[in-house]
């Protein structure tokens, strides 16, 4: 597996290497994240911290994202999809810890489980049950008969990407202690 990084600031660099395809199309990830400034406008400003995507030859061609979005003045972590049979959507977390915070380190863990089309998210070791999604339980229900079908994972991207130019236009984000494995990693170093 190749891990690509958009903005990765750390005291040391490494060349992580995992080979795709991963067993059972399943991977766990963990990172420590510090966000200097979350979007304050426009409404629905959208940002991403990690996503997996299929290969260019994958018929589904979708992406599974661990992301966030500004909705009614609140930035919440969520799960989303781009392209492919699953469409383009975002499901915000509704658990109290799903609200993103500025200027504090958080431990962000995720599960992308392609063999059962599931996602799970943990923040500071606590599962965000509202983000335990599957093929039919996503985007607060089905979308015109579509299902949340994961591609066969071919790449993983880690970093910060803000989809919408807004306020603030630029922010500092620190990501440290990134680990990807076949089992849950946990927040203990």
Residue 155's φ and ψ, nearest 5 degrees, are -160, 155
Cα-based angle 54, 58, 62 (whole degrees, multiple of 5): 50
What per-residue confidence (pLDDT) applies to 141?
52
Cβ contact 140:130 at 8 Å: no
The answer, yes or no, to whether residue 145 has pLDDT greater than 80, is: no
Distances (CA, A) of 66 to 13, 14, 104, 111, 168: 23, 23, 19, 10, 21
Cβ-contact 97, 71 below 8 angstroms? no
Q: Is the pLDDT of residue 189 over 80?
A: no
pTM of the model: 0.86
Distance from C-alpha of 108 to C-alpha of 184, rounded to nearest angstrom: 12
Domain 3-181, what architecture?
Sandwich (2.60)
Instruction: Give the whole-angstrom CA distance, residue 61 versus residue 74.
Output: 30
Per residue in 54-68, pLDDT tens?
876 766 668 899 999
Nearest Cα neighbor of 108 from 54, 67, 146 is 67
User: Which percentage of the chain shows pLDDT scores above 70?
Assistant: 84
Work out the angle at residue 74's Cα, subtended by the Cα atoms of residues 69 and 77, and round it to the nearest 5 degrees. 45
Identify the residue whose tokens are 């966000």: 35
What phi and psi values does residue 77 have, to the nearest 5 degrees? -65, 150
- Tell me the torsion sign for CA atoms 115, 117, 120, 121: positive
């Amino acid at each position: 597996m190749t891990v690509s990084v958009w903005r990765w600031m750390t005291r040391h660099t490494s060349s992580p290497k995992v080979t795709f395809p991963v067993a059972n199309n399943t991977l766990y990830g963990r990172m420590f994240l510090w966000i200097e400034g979350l979007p304050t406008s426009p409404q629905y400003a959208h940002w991403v911290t990690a996503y997996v995507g299929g290969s260019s030859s994958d018929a589904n061609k979708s992406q599974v994202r661990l992301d966030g979005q500004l909705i009614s003045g609140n930035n919440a972590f969520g799960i989303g999809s781009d392209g492919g049979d699953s469409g383009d959507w975002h499901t915000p977390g509704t658990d109290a810890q799903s609200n993103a915070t500025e200027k504090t380190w958080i431990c962000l863990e995720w599960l992308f489980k392609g063999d059962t089309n599931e996602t799970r998210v943990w923040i500071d070791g606590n599962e965000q049950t509202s983000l335990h999604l599957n093929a039919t339980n996503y985007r607060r229900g089905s979308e015109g008969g579509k299902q949340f079908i994961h591609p066969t994972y071919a790449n993983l991207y880690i970093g910060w990407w803000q989809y919408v130019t807004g306020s603030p236009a630029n922010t500092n984000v620190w990501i440290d202690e990134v680990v990807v494995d076949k089992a849950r990693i946990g927040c203990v170093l």
